Amino acid sequence: MLILVINSGSSSLKYQVRDVDAGEVLLEGLVERIGQPDGDAPAAVPDHGAALEIVAARLHEVLGDRQVDAVGHRVVHGGERFAEPVLINNEVTRAIERLNPLAPLHNPAAVLGIRAITEKWPQLPQVAVFDTAYHRTLPEKAWRYAVPDWLYTRHGIRRYGFHGTSHQYVAARAAALLGEAPDEFNGVILHLGNGASATAVKGGASVDTSMGFTPLEGLVMGTRSGDIDPSILVFLGRQGLDADALDDLLNRESGLLGLGGSNDMRTLVDAAEAVGNDDGTSSGADPLRARRALEVAAYRLAKYVGAYHVAVGGAQAIVFTAGIGENSSPFRALVCEQLGALGVELDPELNAVRSKEPRFISTEASRIPVLVIPTNEEQAIAEATAEVVAG
C-alpha cells in the first residue's frame, strides 16, 4: 500500500510517500514559504492548495502511473476525543479545527492540509494520526493540574502530552528488543530532539509524560525552558512583559539556547570539551556556559527517569531516541552517570557505537538495560494509516 504522509506547518508542507509493505520511502520533500511574499513579489506558493500542486507534480514524476492509496496526516492535538488514528470526514476535520485554541500554531495548518487534499483528491481516504493520542491512557491523577476545576471544565486546561506517535513506536520496538510482549512492557522512553519529552510506559500504555497542556512543560529542550515556577510569569507580567513576549521567552529563547548560547547539541558538547583546555579554544559557544547547559539538562532528565521508574513500578528499560537520544553519546553518558542509584551502568564502548539499529548500550550487570531505539514518526504514521484504511 502506498501512503502519502503529510506534516503541514503554517508556512510549510513536509511530505513522504512510503510503500508500507516493502517498508520503503519512495520520495520525500518539503515545500516552504507557503503564503510568504518574496520581498515585494507575491508569494510563489500562495497557499496549501498550491503547495499540493507541487507535491502532485513530484508524485507523478517519481511514481508515474502508480497511485497513492491513502494519506496520513500528522495532527498535533487530538484533545480528549481522539485516542487513536481515525479516518477523516467533515465532522472529524471540524473537530480538529475546534481544538485550534489548544494548538494555535499546529492544528490550523493540519486542517489546511486536509482540506487541500479533499479538494484535489476527494476520493482518497485520509487518516489523522495525533501526537496526543497515545497519552489518552494517562490516569486522572497524572493529567490533572492542582488548580480550580473551572480551568479544566471551561478551558480544557489539563495535561495532554505530545510526541505520542514516537513514544508508542519506540516502546513497541523496545519491547521487541527485550523479547517482551508489547502490552507487558514497562519502561521509560526519552524522546530527545529539539523538542524533548519523557514518557512512563506501563503495560505498553502511557501512564505519565513530561509535556503537559502544551509542549512547553517538562524537560530542558533546544529552545524551551521546560518546568519553571509559574510565578516567574506573574513576576515578569508585573514588569510589563506581555503574553507574546513571555511566549517568545519560554518557547524560543530558553532551554539549551538560553542557558548555553546554542540549541545544537553538537556545538554544546564540542564547546564544553574545551573547558580546561590550555588555549580555551572551542567551536563558538562559551565553554563554561555550554557545560552548564548540558549539566542542567542532564540533571533534570535524570530526575524524570527516577520519577518514571517509580511511576511504572520498576522500569525494564530506559530508552533513548530522536536526534540527541540517538546520536549524542556524550549526553547519554552524562544522564546515565546520574542513575547509579537505580543500578544503571552504561557500557562506554557500546554507547560509542554509531548505528541506525535498535541496540543495548548498558553492561550486562546493569540492573536496568539502557537502549537506543531510532524513532521514525513517518513510518509510524504510514503504518497506522494503512491499518485504519484496511480495517
Among 20, 138, 324, 335, binds ligand AMP (CB under 6 A): 324
Residues 199-228, one symbol each (x = binds ligand AMP by CB under 6 A, - = not), give -----------------------x------
Q: In angstroms, what is the minimal distance from the CB of 330 to ligand AMP? A: 8
Is there binding between residue 315 and ligand AMP (CB under 6 A)? no
Q: Is 14 annotated among the ligand-binding residues?
A: yes
CA nearest to 308, candidates 210, 227, 211: 210
* Cα distance between residue 282 and residue 288, in whole Å: 11
195 is in an annotated binding site: yes
Contact between residue 42 and residue 106 where contact means Cβ atoms under 8 Å apart: no
Q: Is 328 in the site for ligand AMP (CB under 6 A)?
A: yes
Nearer to ligand AMP, 192 or 311 (CB): 192
Query: Contact 68/16 with Cβ under 8 angstroms?
Result: no
Give the range of 129-137, 233-241, 317-325, 333-341 binding ligand AMP by CB under 6 A: 317-325
Asked if 322 interacts with ligand AMP (CB under 6 A), we say: yes
Q: What is the largest CA-CA distance in the chain?
A: 67
Considering the complex, state which of residue 58 and residue 266 has its C-beta at the smaller distance from ligand AMP: 266
Q: Does 204 count as an annotated binding residue? A: no
CA 358, CA 360: separation in Å to the nearest integer?
A: 7
Does residue 16 belong to the site contacting ligand AMP (CB under 6 A)? no
279 is catalytic: no
Q: Any known ligand binding at 193?
A: yes
- Contact between 272 and ligand AMP by CB under 6 A: the answer reads no
272 and 294 in contact (C-beta within 8 Å)? Answer: yes
Kindly tell me the number of DSSP H helices and DSSP E strands found in the chain.
15, 12
**Beta-strand relationship, 70-75 and 2-8:** parallel
Q: Residue 194 annotated as binding? A: yes
CA dihedral for 263, 264, 266, 267, sign (positive or negative): negative
Number of residues near ligand AMP (by CB under 6 A): 12
Q: How far is the CB of 220 from ligand AMP (least distance, A)?
A: 11
Q: Indicate which single residue of 251, 327, 338, 363 sits in contact with ligand AMP (rule: CB under 6 A).
A: 327
Query: What are φ and ψ of residue 196, in 5° steps?
Result: -140, 140
Looking at the DSSP assignment, which residues form a beta bridge with residue 5? 16, 72
264, 270, 377, 383: which one binds ligand AMP (CB under 6 A)? 264
- The active-site residue out of 19, 131, 248, 286 is 131
Q: Closest residue to ligand AMP, Cβ-based?
A: 323
The answer to whether residue 266 forms part of the interface with ligand AMP (CB under 6 A) is yes
Q: Is 193 in the site for ligand AMP (CB under 6 A)?
A: yes
Among residues 85, 212, 323, 369, the one that binds ligand AMP under rule CB under 6 A: 323
Q: How far apart are CA 251 and CA 247, in angstroms?
A: 6
Pick the piece of the chain touching ligand AMP (CB under 6 A) from 26-34, 208-216, 324-332, 382-390. 324-332
Half-sphere exposure of 90 toward its Cβ, with a 13 Å CA cutoff? 2
Measured between alpha carbons, how far is 75 from 389 in angstroms, rounded to an integer? 17
Query: What's the min distance (Å) between Cβ of 200 and ligand AMP?
Result: 20
Judge contact between 296 and 225, C-beta under 8 A.
Answer: no
Q: Tell which residue, 313, 323, 186, 320, has the closest CA to residue 268.
A: 323
Virtual CA dihedral for 135, 137, 139, 143, nearest 10 degrees? 20
> Beta strands 187-192 and 317-321: pairing type?
parallel
Min separation Cβ 170 and ligand AMP, Å: 12
Q: Does 34 bind ligand AMP (CB under 6 A)?
A: no
Instruction: Give the side-chain half-sphere CA count within 13 A for 367.
Output: 10
Select 141 or 354, whichever has its Cβ closest to ligand AMP: 354
Q: Is the dihedral of CA 89, 95, 100, 106 positive or negative?
A: negative
100 binds ligand AMP (CB under 6 A): no
Return the active site residues.
131
Binding residues (CB under 6 A) for ligand AMP: these are 193-194, 222, 263-266, 322-324, 327-328
The annotated binding site for ATP is made up of: 14, 191-195, 264-266, 323-327
The annotated binding site is made up of: 7, 14, 74, 191-195, 264-266, 323-327, 377
The annotated binding site for substrate is made up of: 74
